[in-house]
Structure 1
Amino acid sequence: MNWILLIVAGLFEVGFAACLGKAKESEGAEMTYWYLGFIICLGISMFLLVKVSQVLPIGTAYAVWTGIGAVGTVVVGIIFFKEPVSFWRLLFLTTLISSIVGLKVVSS
């Protein structure tokens, strides 16, 4: 269950990064709503990270949380913000995913 909560926490990290990107593109009330989404996602993500770090090793939990956030944010950037896709970017993204999976495999 804690691993599922950690994944959800990582997805909310992607959410707060995406909200920052959308806020940058917005003005007025819309920008305020995106910043509100950022604060909500940030709060949920941090709460879940704190909760799982009480059970899972903090080094592993934090690495997996940031890894999910990093991979997810890159994917969101490519799909929604039209960021460039290159061989090297995809190679290092694959390396990062492999490292996250490896941490999960070697953690008790």
Structure 2
Amino acid sequence: MNRNWIKVLIAALFEVFWVIGLKHADSFLEWSGTILSIVISFYGLITAGRGLPVGTVYAVFVGLGTAGTTAADFLFFGEPFKLEKVLLIILLLAGVIGLKLVTDEKTEEGADS
């Protein structure tokens, strides 16, 4: 797997953390973690976009972040499980996987890979 795709996955994971933090942070430590998660997430997104098509990177980032945030809501925050929501997330992930599969992984000359 291309190093830039790993950066996108890490950025999406930290997106889940900061989105949860925006809703649930109450203390200085929690807000600090939220801000750190934003920095890590956007750093990964920006650096991955240097070697991959930005539109695809952003779509994968948002799709994975949406799926992760929805899963966290179900698992940790008591959001009611709705089959329709899960099916739509699966459809979203199918599109994200499709974008990754059709994206040329050749990086630009001189880009960090």
TM-based fold match above 0.5: yes
Checking the alignment, whether the CA contact within 8 Å between 1:20 and 1:34 is kept in structure 2 is no
Amino acid across the alignment from 1:105: L
1:104 aligns to 2:106 (yes or no): no
Give 5+ residue unaligned stretches, structure 2: 105-113
Q: C-alpha displacement at 1:35, in angstroms?
A: 1.0
Where 2:80 maps in the other structure, the secondary structure is: coil
Tell me which stretches of 4 or more aligned residues in structure 1 moved more than 4 Å: none
Greater percentage in helix: 1
Task: State the match for 1:90 in structure 2.
Answer: 86
The count of aligned residue pairs is 102
Give the 5 Å matches for 1:70-81.
70-81=66-77
Q: C-alpha displacement at 1:100, in angstroms?
A: 0.8
- How far apart, in 1, do the equivalents of 2:38 and 2:45 lie? 10
Task: State the match for 1:58 in structure 2.
Answer: 54
Give 5+ residue unaligned stretches, structure 1: none
Q: TM-score, normalised by structure 2?
A: 0.86
- How far apart, in 2, do the equivalents of 1:74 and 1:34 lie? 20
